[in-house]
Structures are given as C-alpha cells and as structure tokens.
Amino acid sequence: LTASQSPWIIDSGASDHIAGNDSLFLSMSSLKSPHLITLADGSKIAPKGIGQVSLSPMLNLKSVLFVPNCPFNLISLSQLTKSLNCLVTFNAESCVIQERGTGRMIGVGHEFGGLYYFGMQPSASCVVVLPPKLLHDRLGHPSLSKLKLLVPSLKTLEELGCESCQLGKHVRSSFPKQIEKRCNSVFTTIHSDIWGLGHVTSFGFRYFVTFIDEFSRCTWV
C-alpha cells in the first residue's frame, strides 16, 4: 500500500502526526524553521511541509508533517489529545476517540497485529461495521438516547433488544402487608417448618419441627 491508500496508525510513541503523500493534505505550507524527525531505527529525516489532514467529517488533524514516500501515516496520540481535547480509550479490539466535554464519538480505530489503525473514511462508516448491540455492550450499556448521541449514524435505531438492560430495570413485587384471607376455625390451616442440623444436641436431638395453627396460633414442637 502507498501512504495515500494505507490507514493511519495511532502511535503513542510519535511526537508529531506524519503523512507520506501530499494528496492527503487539505492545505500545506513550508516549515518556518528546520525540523528533523528521528525514526525508530535512529535515522533522521527532514519533513518537506506541514498542514492539515481530514480523516473524517469530525476528525481533522492539524500540524501534520509531510514526509515524502513515508510508507506509513502516523497519528501522534499526544498531539491528538492536546489539539482536540479528546479522550482515547483502548481495549483489546479497538480504540474509541471521544469529545471530552460531550462524550460524543468522533472516531474509532481497530487493532490488528498489535497496532491500532484508523481508516480514511467517515467515523460513522467505521462504526457501522460493529452491530449496534455489540457497540452498546462494549460502551457499558448506555441508554439508546446516549448511544445515538455518541454515534449519530444510529439516529434511526428504535430499540436495542438488550436483555441485560431489561432485566436490570425490572421491579420486584413487594410482599402484601397483610394476609387477605385467614381461616376462621382451628386446625383448618397448619404451618410447619423444620430446623437443623444443630451442632449441639437438645435432649439428644439435632433437629426439631414446628406446627403452628393459623387460627389459634397454638404451636407444637
């Protein structure tokens, strides 16, 4: 893949955004002062320009250095969080970029081969790769309205069908404060219970059973 075709790698070790093809830039200007980039192998290279790149309608990178023929495009994690005032959350399969104030999702990267990649397409298109239910689970079961705020492309979604959320909102019926019907004569209803195994015997026994007459409340053990 050329730099214009390859996805962007989210790099926590990069101090600057780097792009290898000038066709990616919305605008570019020359550097005001000499600038050298130290690569992973220790070699140094001079960028030929600096400009702005749009990765999606909601994610624009500023101060991107143009390094001709660089095989990879790099997103500096430190520059990203500083310039956009955003939060970047990583898990085993993806990383989510969100606005700090509103929590709105502005981009999603995907893990492959130990690296996190961000493709050159609108973030909404990245999101729809994941089913809404799976996205709902990974984000910690937000409400449907919150999920639509985070992912605008789901604004027409009517329900999630999350069984865990439905069970969590169930309300248990309380016990009645009094018995609706009580018997009106002795020995009509007998309540019984058994207790044991006791660690200490009582009259040589380790169990006992009770019988309670509902009408008279007379008790036998």
Verify that 78 and 119 share a domain, yes or no.
yes
Which residue reads 């749009």 in tokens?
Answer: 54
User: Mean pLDDT across the stretch 109-124?
Assistant: 73
Cis geometry, peptide bond prior to residue 61 (ω within 30 degrees of 0):
no
pLDDT given for residue 187 in this prediction: 86
Domain total in the chain: 2
> pTM for this one?
0.52
Select the more confidently predicted residue: 154 or 98: 98
pLDDT value, residue 200: 86
State residue 130's pLDDT score: 67
* Model confidence at 128: pLDDT above 60: no
In a domain, 180, yes or no: no
Per-residue model confidence (pLDDT) at position 180: 64
Residue 208 and residue 141 in one domain: no
pLDDT of the residue at 172: 73
Residue span of the structural domain in which 194 resides: 190-220
Of the ranges 1-5, 27-31, 37-41, 203-207, the best mean pLDDT one? 27-31
- Per-chain mean pLDDT for the chain: 83
Name the 3-class secondary structure at 139.
Answer: coil
Q: What is the pLDDT of residue 5?
A: 56
- The reply to whether 50 and 91 lie within a common domain is yes
Q: Which amino acid is at 16?
A: D
Residue found by looking up tokens 């997103």 in the block: 75
Cα separation, 58 vs 95, in Å, equals: 16
